[in-house]
Amino acid sequence: MTAAPTSSPSSESIQSPAREISSIAVPVSLEMVIQLLLTFVNQVIVGTLGAVAVAAVGLTGSLSFLFFITLGALGSGTSILVARRAGASDPLGVNHTLTVALVFSGVVAGVLTVPIVLGASSLLRLAGAAPEVTATATPYMQVAMLSFVPGILGWILSGALRSLGHARTPLIATTIAVLVEVVAAYGLVFGTGPLPQLGVVGAAWALVISNVLKVVLLAYQVYGPRCLARLTLPRPGTRRGIIGPLVNVSAPLAFTEFAWSLGGFLYAAVFARVGTEALAASQIVGTLEGIFIVGSFGLMSAATVLIGRSLGAGDAQGARTWLRRITHAGLITGVGFGVLFGLSALVVPGLFPKVGAEVHHIALVGILLGAVIQVVKVRNMIVGGGVLPGAGDGKGVIIGDVVGAFIVGLPLAIWLGLYTPLGVWGVFLARALEEIVKVCVFEWRRRRIDWEKLALEQRGKEPAPAH
């Protein structure tokens, strides 16, 4: 069997720095915005059922996201390895790498799905939510986790497509899947037309439908008429040579993503112990914040790509120049989207009319505080998610995440939220202080980077031979 041809990114024409940054950042950011808009629309649909429904879906999302984002690091690892094989003009290596990644991640996700579905009630009770919230969240989570395998496979295929020069394809597939999910969620929650009325669980089935559709669309783009790759397993003796590097590349990313998502879940647990209204409000704030923060998300990818290119060319000054340009862009987008995030507080009562005045009030203050701190979050995202990993300082990223969340943020949230009169306001304040601590740690590590040494190390490196 002949190897499928692979598409490598076309040589780029000379562009202005702003255009070069946006050509990478905009498609990634748009895809993330669309995904989070979907989550928000689903919250609005479920919000018509009351605060308990919103709290249940939000708590489940915080817990299930922990598993999705951790295993999703395999998508980033696959993207890196596929890019190396494509850059080495090794189509057979692309086929083998992508096939092994899909099989490995599918098996791992499938094995994890069974105990998570069976133990959903116990996992949710650990968060300390009110009994009525746990009772509503359990069947929702059991159905929603059926999307785990197709969701992870979709991340793997999306990463491969970007590495093969088709960055817009995942965006198109995500857009189609989002539109289908919104329609399905509305129909299944309320029982529109021939669809059954399933309430909150209907939104979970819509999530499953969306993820299955997305992975089918992506697989068609990779293995269909465009024939970007073929499903071919390497010989048994060489498979470890692919799984090993895949795990080695993905493991540090997985740890960072796990720590971040675990922190989000633990914050949700603290909000749950403050009260159902606090939990519901925090989920509304978190979803809205996510929509505006990911407007800057693509800058993280731009930092990785553009700084990495400069280092690979042995151009230390170029790396520093791109760092300055991208962080300046982050300042602009952080302020701009932060203002929009603050203004979004005005529409919360209209979008969530049945959650109650107390939830509206808590969400208003949470949104305003988050809007003020958004520029700091964007800086952390660029430096902690793009610059430090690109410079090989995974240790600095871990230090910032662990110190910020687990030494400062969460202990303060527990103390201020549960043992002082501040209550829910103390939890929001603790989250803001976490970001300030992280920006200090990340800046300290950034200043330690020896760009000249890195450029000398990277210059002239050749891709590893295919297994």
| Cβ-Cβ contacts under 8 Å for 300 (sequence gap 6 or more) | 381, 382, 385, 386
Q: Which two tokens stand for residue 383?
A: 């430096």
Residue 236: pLDDT band with limits 50, 70, 90: low
pLDDT value for 465: 42
Residue 220 pLDDT level (bands cut at 50, 70, 90) = very high
Domain ranges of the chain: 24-250, 275-459
Q: How far apart are CA 322 and CA 319, in angstroms?
A: 5
Q: Which residues contact 6 (CB under 8 A, 6 or more apart)?
A: 85, 86, 91, 94, 164, 228, 229
Measuring CA to CA, how many Å separate 53 from each of 45, 79, 354? 10, 37, 11
Separation CA 240–CA 100 (nearest Å): 9
Band of pLDDT at residue 6, cut at 50, 70 and 90? very low
pLDDT of residue 13: 42
The residue ranking higher by pLDDT, 460 or 222, is 222
Average pLDDT over residues 430-436: 94
How far apart, in whole angstroms, are the C-alpha atoms of residue 74 and residue 250? 5
pLDDT at 351 over 90: no
Is residue 222 exposed (0-12), middle (13-18) or buried (19+ Cβ within 10 Å)?
Answer: buried
Confidence band for 249, pLDDT divided at 50, 70 and 90: low
H and E: helices and strands count for the chain: 20, 0
Which of 304-308, 317-321, 377-381, 441-445 shows the lowest mean pLDDT across its residues?
304-308
Does residue 294 contact residue 287 with C-beta atoms inside 8 Å?
no
Q: Which amino acid is at 345?
A: A
Closest residue by Cα to residue 4 from 123, 97, 137, 78: 97
Total length of the chain: 467
Choice among 20-29, 110-119, 146-155, 211-220 with the minimum mean pLDDT: 20-29
- d(CA 10, CA 243) in angstroms, rounded, equals 28
User: What is the rounded (10 degree) CA torsion for 335, 340, 341, 342?
Assistant: 90
In sequence order, what DSSP letters do the residues of 224-289 get, joined into one string?
Answer: STT------PPPHHHHHHHHHHHHHHHHHHHHHHHHHHHHHHHHHHHHHHH-HHHHHHHHHHHHHH
Place of tokens 């649909």: 45
User: Could you give the CA distance from residue 51 to residue 69 in angstroms, rounded to a whole number?
Assistant: 26
Residue 322, class by beta-carbon neighbours within 10 Å (0-12 exposed, 13-18 middle, 19+ buried)?
A: buried
pLDDT of residue 459: 57
Q: Quote the CA–CA distance of 385 and 408 in Å, as a whole number.
A: 20
Q: Taking residues 57-66, report their average pLDDT.
A: 76
| Confidence bin at 244 (pLDDT 50/70/90) | low
Q: What's the chain's average pLDDT?
A: 81
In a 3-state reduction of DSSP, which class is residue 88? coil
pLDDT digits (tens, 9 = 90+) for 129-153: 678 888 888 898 899 889 989 999 9
* pLDDT(5) > 50: no
Q: How confident is the model at residue 159 (pLDDT cuts 50, 70, 90)?
A: confident
Type of residue at 426:
G
Residue 245's pLDDT is what?
Answer: 67
Max intra-chain CA distance, the chain: 70
- Write out pLDDT tens, residues 379-390: 998 898 778 876
Question: pTM for the complete prediction?
Answer: 0.68
CA distance 13 to 24: 14
Tens digits of residue pLDDT in 257-303? 777 777 777 888 888 888 888 888 888 888 788 778 877 877 877 77
pLDDT classification of 234: cutoffs 50, 70, 90: low
- Assess whether pLDDT exceeds 70 at residue 14: no
pLDDT exceeding 90 applies to what percent of the chain?
A: 24
Comparison of pLDDT for 168 and 138, the residue scoring more: 138
